[in-house]
């Protein structure tokens, strides 16, 4: 069966798909391997982690899309304050992370200190099943979300801990903004920024933002 790479809205019913897809997509991610270092339990832990943040957080306050083999979570400027883990979500994640919970919290605080203060869209999570690599699933989701941001004249922010992904994001107009080492001898995290682009066919003056 062929897999469509046309983006559509992800709903709460897609939680099992989201968990499976992101588990496969992030199996070799340096930060996820740092949070979940045990090879034997990582698959189950990743599935639970991504299902938790999707069902408790992003599906309610984000713009979530999927294709047949990938998914992405975006957060609009006006939803930034709401799209953070509530107390119940934090407890679930702490239980899941066990003795890595402290490092997780420190990593979140470190990254938060680098988050831009000006209004922006955030690409919170994007990932494709490696089995569908090269079929355009991730690119389709990225184009869809960037089109939404461009339509509102807003820049986009993301974080990546996988250096091989940086050229992919640069191809879509992102540039590295900061590079940081996470606490506890953690992996390097890169923050990236993309200025808004004028939508195709729009002949108005270019969109600018105050930095």
Distance between CA atoms of 154 and 211, rounded to whole angstroms?
12
**Per-residue tokens: 154:** 């807003």
**Per-residue tokens: 190:** 């890169």
Measured CA distances, 68 to 49, 53, 136 (Å):
21, 20, 11
- The verdict on residue 203 lying in a domain is no
Mean of all residue pLDDT scores within the chain: 91
At residue 201 the predicted structure's pLDDT band, cuts being 50, 70 and 90, is low
- The verdict on residue 18 lying in a domain is yes
Express each pLDDT in 117-142 by its tens digit. Answer: 999 999 999 999 999 988 999 999 99
In 3D space, the residue among 122, 108, 125 whose CA is nearest the CA of residue 180 turns out to be 108
Percentage of the residues of the chain whose pLDDT score is greater than 70? 93
Give me the pLDDT at residue 199, please: 64
Express each pLDDT in 27-49 by its tens digit. Answer: 999 999 999 999 999 999 999 99
Which domain covers residue 185, as residue numbers? 8-194
Give me the pLDDT at residue 51, please: 97
Distance between CA atoms of 211 and 204, rounded to whole angstroms?
21
Given a cut of 90, whether residue 210 has pLDDT beyond it is no
Given a cut of 50, whether residue 211 has pLDDT beyond it is no
- The verdict on residue 80 lying in a domain is yes
Distance between CA atoms of 209 and 155, rounded to whole angstroms?
8
At residue 208 the predicted structure's pLDDT band, cuts being 50, 70 and 90, is very low
Give me the pLDDT at residue 209, please: 39
| Main-chain dihedrals φ then ψ at residue 176, nearest 5 degrees | -65, 130
- The verdict on residue 204 lying in a domain is no
Unique residue bearing structure tokens 């062929």: 2
- The verdict on residue 210 lying in a domain is no
What is the total count of domains within the chain? 1
| Secondary structure (3-state) at 31 | helix
- The verdict on residue 142 lying in a domain is yes
- The verdict on residue 208 lying in a domain is no
Distance between CA atoms of 12 and 64, rounded to whole angstroms?
10
- The verdict on residue 16 lying in a domain is yes
At residue 202 the predicted structure's pLDDT band, cuts being 50, 70 and 90, is low
Give me the pLDDT at residue 22, please: 98
Please give the average per-residue pLDDT across 39-65, as a whole number: 96
CATH number at residue 72: 3.40.630.30
């Amino acid at each position: 069966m062929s897999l469509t790479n046309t983006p559509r809205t992800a709903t709460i019913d897609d939680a099992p798909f989201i968990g499976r897809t992101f588990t496969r997509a992030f199996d070799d991610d340096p930060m996820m391997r740092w949070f979940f270092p045990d090879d034997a339990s990582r698959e189950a832990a990743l599935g639970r982690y991504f299902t938790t943040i999707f069902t408790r957080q992003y599906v309610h306050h984000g713009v979530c899309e999927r294709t047949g083999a990938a998914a992405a979570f975006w957060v609009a400027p006006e939803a930034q304050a709401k799209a953070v883990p509530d107390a119940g979500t934090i407890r679930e994640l702490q239980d899941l992370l066990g003795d890595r919970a402290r490092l997780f919290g420190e990593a979140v605080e470190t990254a938060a200190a680098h988050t831009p203060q000006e209004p922006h869209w955030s690409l919170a999570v994007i990932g494709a099943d490696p089995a569908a690599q090269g079929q355009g699933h991730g690119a389709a989701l990225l184009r869809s979300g960037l089109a939404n941001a461009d339509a509102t004249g807003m820049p986009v922010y993301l974080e990546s801990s996988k250096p091989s992904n940086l050229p992919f994001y640069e191809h879509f107009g992102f540039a590295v903004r900061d590079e940081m080492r996470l606490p506890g001898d953690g992996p390097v995290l890169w923050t990236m920024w993309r200025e808004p682009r004028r939508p195709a066919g729009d002949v108005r003056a270019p969109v600018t933002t105050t930095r």
